[in-house]
Amino acid sequence: MTDLPQVPITDGWRFRDVQLEVSLKPFFDNSPETREVVCREIFEQWRALWRHAETVSVMLWVAEGSEILEYDGNPETEFEWAKYHGAPNRHRWELPGKARVNDPDHASIGINVAEYDPEGVGIHSRAYLYRPEPAVFTYGWLRGLVADLKRIGGEMTGRPVLVGETFDIGPEFAKSRFKFDWHREILSGGPVFKEQFISCEAVLKGDGRRYAAFPDGIPDGTGFGTFFGRQLNRLFEDCGFDFIWFSNGFGFSLEPWAMVGEVFDGALYHPERAAGIRGRILRFWRDLRAEFPLKYRIRTRGTNLATGIDLGSDASPLREIYQGGFGVDAPVNSPWAALDGDFGLELSGWMSHVARHPGGTFRYRFYTHDPWWLNSPWLDRYERQPHDIFLPLSVSRLTRDGTVEIPRDIAFLSVDDSNGKMPLTVPNEVIAHVLRARELAPDAPGPLLWVYPFDDFHELAGHRPDLPLHADAFIGTVINDGVPLNTVVDAAELRAAWRPGPLLVSPVPQAGSGVEGDLLELWKSGADMLFYGALPGDSAIASLLGIGHAEAIDGDFVLTENGRELPRKLRHTGFLSGGGFSEIKAADFGEKSESLMDARCGEVPRVAAAISRRVNGRGRIAWIRASLTTAEYDPADPVPIKGPILKPLDAARFHPPGSVFRRVLGAFGWRIDSTAPGREKRPPYVTIHRHRNAMVLSGHHRDEGATLHLRHPLGAPLLSGCRNFVRDGATEITGRIAWQNEVRVLMESGADGAVRVRELQPVMHGVHRRLLVSGVSGATLHFLVETGHCGRIRILRDPHFPYFAGDFVQPVIVETTHGSVITVANVTGEILFEW
């Protein structure tokens, strides 16, 4: 099959793989005719997307993995499959927490069924068959399905079609005899999800049942990795599968869903356990791959948290898994954001997982339908709003050669809903937004660049696990507070990758480390940078800022900014913040830096944020202490912090941790703040990425009535296709839940008011685009020149169609740290930019 040439989507940003996930529910019976019809419908519905891909994958959610564990090698054997709504193993396990049933922010944690569902009728209390008399399937039928998907998919797409299996560690999706009746010894004994999840380090007790790879039964003491790998190999050989998906953090942690584990128990850190835990997890991978050949790729969801949190709580050896030759793909972005609304954790966690990764690219995953829990996120949780498309697809990774890498693999959970239906409106609507985001994909770093110390964080897990946990948990709150941090670079590649422009954002590096040395060399070359976290006494950053130390304390601090006391307090919890608050002004503080924000607990003064004084030829260094806390902390509880997310304090009384970071950005020419009419927990989200020298802004207002005030160092960004209201040098953005707009014009000065930016039709041979800016008064405008279109640019004041005569401005292109810019001063009324 030959595609017509389509640019730009097939020119440079082509997808490597499109993964369509499907359960068996659309197969209402087990006839070959039904199988044929359903397979054809799957590929037909997603044609507009896979036509831009090199390969197409279909990932089958057969059950929850027990069909692999129980496989006996007989094609006539029937298998249990995910034919339910709700919790099919509910009688065998208990959900933690006491979140209300109708509280979407806690849906992923679970509910106290006895308290909120006393009749036991909800899908968290029991399971319901999704339809009367669901089909019965055998392993022979499954082999036929795999063959049909490859045959039909290859015929319809003209591309290689890969078919994958799935494995989940928990009690969801399908009844599991293996987990909850035959071999309960494989269930984790972790502090939060005890006896609910399979532990990858488990050792099996012997049994005499027949399994495909163990026809005489399981020998006592067989490691789970050995058993699982051998069973996988047999099932894949017999049924023709190509890859396996590890769900819900399997293989990355001993208990992947919580912020607590064997290293951080919710109150204390136990770094002495890290090496042993790392070895136990890696033993699973070695055992698995000894039985399961590398020709079968392992695709992963990973944990729902961030690398630093996983290292600090569980010593998760992500680096060693990546480097171990295990044939594993980097984890995707977590679908939890659809459930708990924590997009900061989604984006920061994903960036932390792909700052370094083992594959040729990484994968973005979108939550269209849930085939088990009676929700279809595109239709209900997202309400058809594309924010969880626009925000994550603005993420990029800066590579060693100075270019950016974006996800070239894409996945959709799932193409069918909980009733086995495949509503056509969902792929039609979702694909349109995905292709639009792809059309404007990042091709250069965003204005803020997260320097991720991948190696250092792994080393810290063995002696200061609190530091990576704090660093990554804090950055999640920063993004939650509206900071556009969506480009990441591995600190080990920073020196080679660096090009002037972005503000470097980094946790305070370890004193004397290579990362510290690289950052200071870039600072000497003129790079601006913002550090966050505790400043040890031997830190070069502390010396450059003139920061000293006193007693480390916790508590509620009064903040002052420019001598003015702020109305809300800042709470500092030491074991979540990399230690107590000890930073004070040294004797030479005023000579080296100035305070941006001071803090006081009682009469004890501390420095909350500071910035270095200008040094000729060198950049500026800002620093914030990055205090962190959580509302769930209960020192009387045996596990005083559980997670899985940090719950914010009352925003009316306490500064959200990320708000201090946002205020400090003002020292670099930014303004990011918001007002909300209701009681929203989080302000609007915004990301900024670059595409052909434009800025592309993506946003999510949880409340469309909330107003985001945004100013870039060049001025107020004027969103194309919008009526922009500019006040006090910032653009006010409101009225939309999810949005994405190109920005090519920024207004540095001029009167407040409504400014319209319209895309005019070219209607002239040789003209690529025209932008008309209207409603400015006495303004200075900065125009971002489109990459590859510097040769013919015309700028016309007070333009009149057909734009051949009038007051033309001679364009002068200046290369700046913000890209190629043309500046036009004293603009009043309308001005046309044509190129």
Considering the chain, what percentage of its residues have pLDDT values greater than 90?
A: 84
Residue 109: its pLDDT value, please? 40
Question: 795 forms bridges with which residues in the sheet?
Answer: 809, 833
Q: Same domain, yes or no, for 506 and 527? A: yes
Task: Answer with the one of 407, 439, 471 that is the final residue of a domain.
Answer: 439
Residue with tokens 């004797």: 587
Q: DSSP labels for 191-230?
A: SSSTTTSB-TT-EEPPB----SS-TT-BPTTEEHHHHHHH
Higher pLDDT, 816 or 641: 816
Q: Is residue 677 part of a domain?
A: no
Provide the residue type at 690 as one letter: R
Q: Is residue 775 part of a domain?
A: yes
Residue 585: its pLDDT value, please? 96
Helices 307-314 and 343-354 cross at an angle (nearest 10°) of 80
CA gap 203, 222 in Å, rounded: 6
CATH number where 486 lies? 3.40.50
Residue 12: its pLDDT value, please? 58
Helices 466-480 and 307-314 cross at an angle (nearest 10°) of 150
Q: Is residue 476 part of a domain?
A: yes
Given a cut of 50, whether residue 4 has pLDDT beyond it is no
Q: Same domain, yes or no, for 650 and 741? A: no
Q: Same domain, yes or no, for 295 and 364? A: yes
| pTM attached to this predicted model | 0.95
Q: What is the DSSP letter of 130?
A: S
Residue 88's φ and ψ, nearest 5 degrees, are: -70, -20
Q: Is residue 690 part of a domain?
A: yes
CB-CB contact of 576 with 628 (8 Å): yes
Residue 806: its pLDDT value, please? 94
Q: Same domain, yes or no, for 314 and 377? A: yes
Q: Same domain, yes or no, for 429 and 309? A: yes
What are the b/e assignments for 323-361, b being 16+ CB within 10 Å?
eeebbbbbbbbbbbbbbbbbbbbbbbbbbbbbbbbebeb
69-123: per-residue pLDDT in tens? Answer: 999 999 999 999 999 999 898 755 444 433 333 333 333 344 555 677 888 888 9
> What average pLDDT does this structure show over 564-587?
95
Residue 341's φ and ψ, nearest 5 degrees, are: 70, 10
> What average pLDDT does this structure show over 692-707?
94
Considering the chain, what percentage of its residues have pLDDT values greater than 70?
A: 95
User: Hey, what are 327's tokens?
Assistant: 């044939």
Average of per-residue pLDDT values in the chain: 93
> What average pLDDT does this structure show over 654-676?
93
Residue 91: its pLDDT value, please? 53
590-612: per-residue pLDDT in tens? Answer: 999 999 999 999 888 999 999 99
Q: Same domain, yes or no, for 76 and 88? A: no
The secondary element (H helix, E strand) that includes residue 718 is strand 716-719
Task: Answer with the one of 439, 458, 489 that is the final residue of a domain.
Answer: 439
> What average pLDDT does this structure show over 522-550?
96
Q: Same domain, yes or no, for 161 and 95? A: no
Q: Same domain, yes or no, for 79 and 96? A: no
Residue 7: its pLDDT value, please? 42
Helices 274-291 and 224-239 cross at an angle (nearest 10°) of 30
Residues in the chain: 835
Place 194 in a pLDDT band, splitting at 50, 70 and 90.
confident
Name which of 150, 141, 152 is nearest 67 in CA terms.
141
CA gap 262, 639 in Å, rounded: 12
Name which of 443, 363, 463 is nearest 398 in CA terms.
443
Q: Is residue 371 part of a domain?
A: yes
Residue 101: its pLDDT value, please? 35
Place 751 in a pLDDT band, splitting at 50, 70 and 90.
very high
Residue 677: its pLDDT value, please? 60
432-481: per-residue pLDDT in tens? Answer: 999 999 999 999 999 999 999 999 999 999 999 999 999 999 999 999 99
Residue 102: its pLDDT value, please? 36
228-263: per-residue pLDDT in tens? Answer: 999 999 999 999 999 999 999 999 998 888 888 999
CA gap 187, 256 in Å, rounded: 13
Name the residue range of residue 808's domain.
Answer: 685-834
Residue 191: its pLDDT value, please? 67
CB-CB contact of 656 with 638 (8 Å): no
Q: Same domain, yes or no, for 595 and 733? A: no
Q: Same domain, yes or no, for 292 and 351? A: yes
Q: Same domain, yes or no, for 155 and 112? A: no
Q: Same domain, yes or no, for 806 and 826? A: yes
Q: Is residue 608 part of a domain?
A: yes
**Least confident residue range of 194-198, 354-358, 726-730:** 194-198
Q: Is residue 10 part of a domain?
A: no
CA gap 649, 657 in Å, rounded: 10
Residue with tokens 């700046």: 816
Task: Answer with the one of 439, 466, 485 that is the final residue of a domain.
Answer: 439
CB-CB contact of 25 with 19 (8 Å): no
CATH number where 204 lies? 3.20.20.80
> What average pLDDT does this structure show over 377-406?
97
Residue 634: its pLDDT value, please? 81
Q: Is residue 328 part of a domain?
A: yes
Q: Number of structural domains, the chain?
A: 4
Q: What is the DSSP letter of 170?
A: S
729-748: per-residue pLDDT in tens? Answer: 999 999 899 999 999 999 99
Residue 55: its pLDDT value, please? 98
